[in-house]
Amino acid sequence: MGLCCFGLNAPARSRRRLGEMAVEYLTTHQVVERLHVRMPMVVRLLASGKLSGTKVNNWWQVPAAALKEYILAAPARRREPR
pTM attached to this predicted model = 0.68
Would you state the pLDDT for residue 74? Answer: 78
SS3 per-residue string spanning 51-74: CCCEEECCEEEEEHHHHHHHHHCH
* Strand order across the beta sheet in which 54-56 lies: 14-18, 21-26, 59-63, 54-56
Residue 38: CB atoms within 10 Å: 10
Tens digit of each residue's pLDDT, the chain (82 residues): 444 444 555 555 556 565 667 889 999 999 999 999 999 999 999 999 999 999 999 999 999 999 999 999 877 666 555 5
The long-range contacts involving 10-19, CB below 8 angstroms and separated by at least 24 positions, are: 12/64, 13/61, 14/61
